[in-house]
Amino acid sequence: MSAPRSTLFRSDHVLTLGENEIDGPGGVVVRDSRLSAVLTVDELARTERCWDDVVDLGSRTLMPGFVDPHAHVEVASKASRQMVDVRAPACPDVASVLATLREHRDQARDGWLVAQGNLFFDQKLRDRRFPTREELDTVCPGLAVVIRAGGHLSILNSKALELAGIDEDFRSVDYSVTGKPSVQRDAHGRPTGVVSEMDKLLPLPGLRVDEERDAVEAGVRELFTAHGVTTLGEISDTVEGGLRAYDDAITAGRLKARIHVYLWVPGSVTLDEACDHRRWAQLRSPDDMLSIQGVKVFADGGYSAARAALTRPYATGDGHNCGEIAFSTEEIVEIAQRTNAAGLQLAIHANGDHAQLHVCDALEKAALRGCPRIRLEHAGNFVPDYDELSSAWRRARIVPVPQPTFIHNFAEFLPEYLGEYSRSRQFPLRRLLDDGWPISGSSDVWVGSEIGQTDPFRSIASCVGRRTFHGGTLNLDQVVTVREALRMHTFGGAHAMQQETTRGTLEVGKLADMIVLDRNPLAVGADELADIAVERVYLGGDLIHDIS
């Protein structure tokens, strides 16, 4: 039996981002899908040729593939296929939103016209408000119209409210899907059309199975692979349209990506089903291409829906709303202990500081030992009391998983929702890194995400330049270097998913997941980072994307 072939990838600029760092000319040798050697230019000159093929990348930069540990790939992929796009700034005001909906009435399915608007949609429209229920009623008589504004909040017209069974007597379910659901009402108790944390509970039409599968396969390629993302932490939406679709596509060779799935409880499966996944999942794909990594639960909701659980009241409303905790201490302890026993990594959405303190207290009580790392999603985004929160994180032994891309998405809007105190207490990335936190960067792409949100270089630019939606800057004392930002989106993402021994850097023994850039990110200004193009993507040393 002959030995596996080996290939040398040579470049004028290799950026390994590992412990034994190369930042200059050199090469890597790939054998049997892994890196068998990482060589400086001097070592290349001294090494007797021991490879079968050579790929000369010239002046282009070779670096590890990006790792996005928190994405809703299935949801985002389907959104472009089944929703009218009314996001700002393309739709700058309410009138434009209504006109766009009327123009696309033919896209209605089963009596529903569904659209996606951005997070903080009311702040991004010139009118600084949502379209009203009555305005949406004018789009088309008898048609149910709903705008999903970022995944935590939706605006429904009268027909949509009727079909969803939401009237003056409606009572929301008392459990968490994306946080505790709520219905906004006017002074007479009549639903205004604005609902929070209810998208999964609405009777919205779906795509056919073949449409779902086409959508997710195209979504992985276009939203992630084309931007150099080689490993994904996917928050599941459905079993058939997501998990099964990935398995079929990878097994058939149509999809080239490493996907680690976090089963959404109870959005896609029950906790019992998640913990028993080995019985029913029976994936055919190789483990290094597709696996069930863990469980994702929501301990509170979103800021845009005023449902993230805070220690101080929101600045909007009656001055008493602090959001709401979705799980009791006992429930969190049970979830943590059961996922730990099942060998599943637990990822807990906890936006607000009250939610994070509550979760950390419960995790201490769970007294877990030797368990998979527990992730606290969105920890590190809004940090009103750094010392208090970071101490709680350490006691609970969690990994904070922030989203630097949100600096652009909504950082400038939080003070109006939370109060002026929040302006200077967002995304303390410099301090987190200086204190040794192994933070990552992720897209958290979902319904209503910004165009380009899945491009890691957009997030890296946010880390370095800290530009907000309307072009301002946020807390420049918390800027990080380009190199640090690159590691956040490679090694940091791998660490968040407990995969740092197999990817995230170019080091001997790791998977040969590599990307080739049109320029050196360490040699451009902060304003150019978002324009860097990924020219090639290699997965296990195999070329899977090439723009040439």
Reported as half-sphere exposure (CB side, CA atoms, 13 A), residue 153 has a value of: 20
Whether residue 135 contacts residue 193, with contact meaning beta carbons closer than 8 Å, is answered with no
Tell me the C-alpha to C-alpha distance, in Å, between residue 181 and each of 166, 175, 328, 453: 12, 8, 16, 26
Tokens 């596996």, residue located: 4
Other CB atoms within 10 Å distance of the CB of residue 518: 14
Whether residue 136 contacts residue 193, with contact meaning beta carbons closer than 8 Å, is answered with yes
pLDDT of residue 477 exceeding 70: yes
Phi, psi of 392 (to 5 degrees): -65, -40
Look at residue 369 in the predicted model and tell me its pLDDT.
85
pLDDT of residue 247 exceeding 90: yes
What does DSSP assign to residue 243?
I
Mean model confidence pLDDT for the chain: 96
Whether residue 373 contacts residue 498, with contact meaning beta carbons closer than 8 Å, is answered with yes
Which residues, 6+ apart, have CB-to-CB distance to 168 below 8 Å? 185, 189, 190, 191
- pLDDT, tens digit (0-9, with 9 covering 90-100), for 261-288: 999 999 999 999 999 999 999 999 999 9
Tell me the C-alpha to C-alpha distance, in Å, between residue 422 and each of 110, 275, 307, 317, 392: 43, 38, 16, 17, 20
Look at residue 2 in the predicted model and tell me its pLDDT.
61
Whether residue 407 contacts residue 427, with contact meaning beta carbons closer than 8 Å, is answered with yes
Phi, psi of 343 (to 5 degrees): 75, 25
What does DSSP assign to residue 202?
S
Beta bridge partners of 290: 259
pLDDT of residue 432 exceeding 80: yes
What is the rounded CA–CA span in Å between residue 100 and residue 78? 19
Other CB atoms within 10 Å distance of the CB of residue 472: 10
In 3-state terms the chain splits into helix, strand, coil percentages (rounded to 5) of 35, 25, 45
Tell me which H or E stretch contains 212: helix 209-219
Q: Tokens at residue 368, please?
A: 């877990």
- pLDDT, tens digit (0-9, with 9 covering 90-100), for 25-36: 999 999 999 999
By percentage, how much of the chain surpasses pLDDT 90? 93
- pLDDT, tens digit (0-9, with 9 covering 90-100), for 54-86: 999 999 999 999 999 999 999 999 998 899 999
Alpha carbon 544 to chain centroid, angstroms: 22
Averaged over 529-533, what is the pLDDT? 97
* Residue among 303, 421, 437, 301 nearest 380 (CA): 437
pLDDT of residue 363 exceeding 70: yes
pLDDT of residue 174 exceeding 90: no
Look at residue 222 in the predicted model and tell me its pLDDT.
97
Other CB atoms within 10 Å distance of the CB of residue 194: 20
Look at residue 415 in the predicted model and tell me its pLDDT.
97
Look at residue 172 in the predicted model and tell me its pLDDT.
81
Q: Tokens at residue 190, please?
A: 């009549």
Confidence of residue 248 (pLDDT cuts 50, 70, 90): very high
- pLDDT, tens digit (0-9, with 9 covering 90-100), for 301-358: 999 999 999 999 999 988 899 999 999 999 999 999 999 999 999 999 999 999 999 9
Better-predicted residue by pLDDT, 190 or 175 = 190
Look at residue 264 in the predicted model and tell me its pLDDT.
96
Beta bridge partners of 68: 232
Averaged over 452-464, what is the pLDDT? 98
- pLDDT, tens digit (0-9, with 9 covering 90-100), for 373-407: 999 999 999 999 999 999 999 999 999 999 999 99
Look at residue 176 in the predicted model and tell me its pLDDT.
66
Averaged over 431-446, what is the pLDDT? 97
Whether residue 380 contacts residue 429, with contact meaning beta carbons closer than 8 Å, is answered with yes
